[in-house]
Structure 1
Amino acid sequence: MLKKILAILAMLYAMSAFAAVDVNKASAADLDSVKGIGPAMSAKIIEERKKGSFKDWNDLVSRVKGIGETSAAKLSEAGLTVNGAAYPGAPAKAEAKPAKTDTKAAAADDKKAKVDKKAKEEAKAPAAEEKKAKAEAKQAKASAAAPAANATKK
């Protein structure tokens, strides 16, 4: 049941990650949700936007201190748009990253698998030792019997 809930949350997160954030329409919280924009940068963007909407990416880069061509490309890749347009030359937004809950769940599953594997190995250890002891006893018995057999041949 928990896995189903986590799967649903992951799907909702992935769907929301694909939503583009338009710099001219977004709230401060929406801007903060874009990777690479923090509260200080979103405040600068909103302050400049009060003077007038951004016409294009060049207008955004020239008016907002702290956003250059490199960061504009990264922000565009993270889902920021200006009037619905991505930064020219920036790669299209890739798949959304897995939700942190999925990552945590996967890490927990990996840890549990390691613990289970270790427990199985520890459970096998006594059986392996017993098998080894039996083999050694058999070899010792065979070694002891060999001189007796040689003595009867003479």
Structure 2
Amino acid sequence: MKHLLSSILVVLALVTAPTAWSASQETSQGSEQVETLSVNINTASVQILSEQLTGIGPAKAKAIVDHRQKHGKFASPDDLVTVKGIGASTLDKNRDRIKV
């Protein structure tokens, strides 16, 4: 009887392990996606800004970095419109991805 019970427990462990591992893996992938979507406009490089933000190519990304170096850090995402070439429409497209 002990042998049968042990065998059942081993089989249960083997059957449920892949499901638990899969759920754990999905959770870590989900948090990675959140991280890649959030861009700190006070620290991001030209490359990151141009790759992660909609409507921001290398030239506008460089303008953001240049503005940040000349005027200091952005106090809020709304300050992005003070950068030449970036308007309210571009800000609105990216508002959920921008952090300071």
Same amino acid, percent of matched pairs: 34
Q: Residue in 2 aligned with 1:112? A: none
TM-score (norm 1): 0.39
Stretches of structure 1 that go unaligned for 5 or more consecutive residues are 1-7, 84-154
Higher relative helix content: 2
Following TM superposition, the consecutive aligned residue runs of length 4 or more in structure 1 with deviations greater than 3 angstroms are: 14-17
Q: Residue in 2 aligned with 1:61? A: 81
Stretches of structure 2 that go unaligned for 5 or more consecutive residues are 1-24
Aligned length: 70
Q: Residue in 2 aligned with 1:48? A: 67
Larger Rg: 1
Structure-2 change in CA distance of 1:80 and 1:58 (3 Å):
closer
The question of 1:37 aligning with 2:53 is answered: no
For 1:1-150, what aligned pairs fall within 5 Å after superposition?
A: 15-19=31-35, 20-34=38-52, 35-51=54-70, 52-62=72-82, 64-77=83-96, 79-81=97-99, 83=100
Structure-2 change in CA distance of 1:54 and 1:76 (3 Å):
same
Q: Which amino acid aligns with 1:25?
A: T
Give secondary structure in 1 for the equivalent of 2:62: helix
